[in-house]
Structure 1
């Protein structure tokens, strides 16, 4: 599959302070690539380097097959961008502002602007200075999506949106992917990214800790399991469960001839499933993998190990 966006040994310094330390990644065309990390991790700086808003100190960047420093207006028309800090002209209506953006970005399908505004619940005839933070964010989303660009670069796109509008945004992302568009989005909230992303890069202190599929993160995440069984001694049940790779923190409770075990499981669940087939179960609870906990562990990796 073709590569839509790539960075090689990307470094950015502001004076003596280095905020990106040799960042490397590739984004396949037609996929959703999510970058997550705490505030200050370097997400916005990375995006601005991709868009030639700021220029790297060192390294190589390619966007839609082009060096963004040489792409000019032609490349920018192929991109839809929502910045993390959105500043809008306050003396015009949303409709007039979008007409201005349309003249810059190129053709917009007939009725597309009204369709997006209706989906997001945005009144285009209000002056932008009267819009709430959430409605300004909606306006920013409309301008990014309206010309159906090859690449969408969205920095913290759901900031200020209520949960229902967030779900509509996720639907818009899925539809864009279905049309073959590439989406590069950032967030500091994993649950936001995992709903739409195919691949997730975890950024910490200006370094990529890992690039992984959402499914890969799920396989390596922590699950909690609780089971109740009959016909086996407690110490034997504990030994069986403890012998499974990735199982830890086993707790046991005996009552009325039943043995209840609780534990955490990190890694594949197949060994657990095979072991459960040997027990006479009366209850079983296997939680969804805790991706947030898995990612927080990665944030805590010592800096020298994250390079």
Structure 2
């Protein structure tokens, strides 16, 4: 089966400013592919090139086996699209608006719209001008999913949604993937992509830093280690643990007849376990891999697991006001 999306050497310029610098990636059919990066990284521009909303300045794009520049409405009916900034007709109910979209996008199974609206807790009979940002986002999700498209292109899909609805959205993504549909979504929130995606492209300043599976990112992610051990000096404990591959930021303090140790571990844990078997452990904490820090490291930025600003995690704090 052909790949659902193929992007080769994609470039985009706006005037003298190039915002995509020859990016390459491909998306397998029946998978969920996530693009993560701060605002201004090029996520939205990439999606608009895939959908022929804007034309690339260079490179090659193929979507569902077609060149989107020449495929026309037939290709668009096979795609469900949620833009990052959703503008809705104000003098109409959600139900009538979805009926209008259904006439454009193609057949929608009877009851499908009401099913999706119920799952997202959306009142379809309210006028769109009276809807909150979150409810407008729900309406956008219904129009993207309702005709069971082969490909879903979702730009920041959980923006404005409360946590319970976000979880329902992730369940919908898993269902369409299990149904053989392909999902291409963008986000600046790593946890969202981590839960939904099979493969992730990390985008920064119009360039792809890496493309990897979530499992591969987890294998290279940082784990925080804390332990206390007795019957050993700080010098001996430091010498033992410093020889373990992947151990860094090692701090050892003598406490009573033993030591307190803190460190970070990158990579596999088997060498660490072998080293720890030589210690008389009193307490041991090895945290889950921190993908947030792993991504920040790929960006070339320090990540210490602490929150920045008003309770935001480090990657979220990268958000800026630049165009994408």
TM-score, normalised to structure 2, is 0.90
Superposed, which structure 2 residues align to 1:159-238 within 5 Å?
159-238=159-238
Higher mean alpha-carbon deviation, 223-232 vs 250-259, is at 250-259
How far, CA to CA, are the matches of 1:273 and 1:108 in structure 2? 55
Higher mean alpha-carbon deviation, 55-64 vs 233-242, is at 233-242
| Cα deviation code 1:52-77 (max 9, x no counterpart) | 00011110000001101111111111
Q: Secondary structure at the match of 1:108?
A: coil
2:315 alignment counterpart: none
The question of 1:262 aligning with 2:251 is answered no
| Cα deviation code 1:229-263 (max 9, x no counterpart) | 22333322211111111211111233332322110
Higher mean alpha-carbon deviation, 179-188 vs 263-272, is at 263-272
1:95 alignment counterpart: 95
How far, CA to CA, are the matches of 1:70 and 1:275 in structure 2? 61
- Unpaired runs of 5+ residues, structure 2, are 302-324
How far, CA to CA, are the matches of 2:70 and 2:274 in structure 1? 57
How far, CA to CA, are the matches of 1:36 and 1:243 in structure 2? 35
The question of 1:33 aligning with 2:45 is answered no
Higher mean alpha-carbon deviation, 256-265 vs 50-59, is at 256-265
- Note the C-alpha offset of 1:83: 0.1
What is the RMSD of the two structures over their aligned residues, measured on CA atoms? 1.2
How far, CA to CA, are the matches of 1:294 and 1:22 in structure 2? 24
The question of 1:151 aligning with 2:151 is answered yes
| Cα deviation code 1:191-243 (max 9, x no counterpart) | 11111111110111111110011111111111110112223333222111111
Q: Secondary structure at the match of 1:195?
A: helix
TM-score, normalised to structure 1, is 0.95
2:62 alignment counterpart: 62
2:322 alignment counterpart: none
- Note the C-alpha offset of 1:110: 1.8
Higher mean alpha-carbon deviation, 133-142 vs 286-295, is at 286-295
2:296 alignment counterpart: 296
- Note the C-alpha offset of 1:295: 1.2
Q: Secondary structure at the match of 1:86?
A: coil
* Moved segments of 4+, more than 4 Å: none
How far, CA to CA, are the matches of 2:288 and 2:279 in structure 1? 22
1:46 alignment counterpart: 46
- Note the C-alpha offset of 1:265: 1.1
How far, CA to CA, are the matches of 1:45 and 1:270 in structure 2? 43
2:319 alignment counterpart: none
- How many corresponding residue pairs? 301
- Note the C-alpha offset of 1:280: 2.5
